[in-house]
Structure 1
Amino acid sequence: MEKITQFPSPGRPRGSSQGYFRALINDKPFTTTHLQGHLCLRSELAGERTCKIWKVHATGKVAWRRTVFGFFIDQSLEPGTYDLVRNERLTAVYHLTPRQQAQVYHSRDFQHGSVTLHECDAHTGRLRGAFEFSMSAIDFTVSQGEFDLRCRPAEPFEPLAD
């Protein structure tokens, strides 16, 4: 099997005024069809929302399979490389729908993973970085991941009136 080292032209996915998101999944390219980035407050199970996060949602395909990436990054993180498996201020979710049963992988389940933030400017909304993660026990690898996008402020959260 030939290893892919060139990405297809990222074009401009729907939902994104600027930016790209790309990766190889087991050496097959992820083709982004929809990309969204937001600056928002993290959902909390209880209490008031106080933690500001970058939320990146990329939908696309790997071959013919619908695939979704979600990244949730604490806005207090500065440029640098972070362990995706053990850092509670970073979360990644990989969702694959091969047939009728979806497969969902969460960063707490990864055996290896990292995110490198090259730029994370809340004033301009620019978020740029790279990522990789794997679960060797099931022969699953995401490599050469890159993103560069402008995140918009999310709509303010309005609690329901009693």
Structure 2
Amino acid sequence: METVDLVMAGVAGLMLGLCLCLYRFATLLTGWQVAIAQVWRGGYRDLERLDDLAHMQQSLGTLRGWNWRDGEGKRWIEDEVVFQTPEGDRIHAMVGRQVQRSWKPASVFRVWYDRANPQNVTAYGPGYWLLMAILTIAALHATFAWGIDWARTGQPPQWLFELAAPDVSPK
């Protein structure tokens, strides 16, 4: 398998990711509604937060361990939340979100819920998915602008040479 094949597989993955981002953006705008939720039962205990504080941004050796959904300096938690619909129904639902490691997460935050099934809740609204789509488009542009030629010729783009060149300004 050649490098160009790997780059094209990456392009296919980015295109699938872009389609997912645009799909989530469109569905959240059409069939979902925003609500203010209050944490009923939190998924990030005080003992886990203190343990994260003591381990200096490392997941190995902590009480929670490593989770593939954790981000850089973030922890994935699942909270049971309660919110009220405009019709006056009080809904309890589970929602997952990323929070800052070793910080106490907010107990009141905005959620998006499906009007057809209010138990279907997300903490990531259409703005998040639109931003992810824009970042994916930027990654695709960079791949097509520099990555394919780099993979085909084996030579990095000229701007990368200039970036790595030593500064020879006169004194």
Q: Same fold (TM over 0.5)?
A: no
Q: Which has the larger radius of gyration?
A: 2
How does the TM-score come out when normalised to structure 1?
0.26
Higher relative strand content? 1
How does the TM-score come out when normalised to structure 2?
0.25
Higher relative contact order (CA 8 A, sep 6+): 2
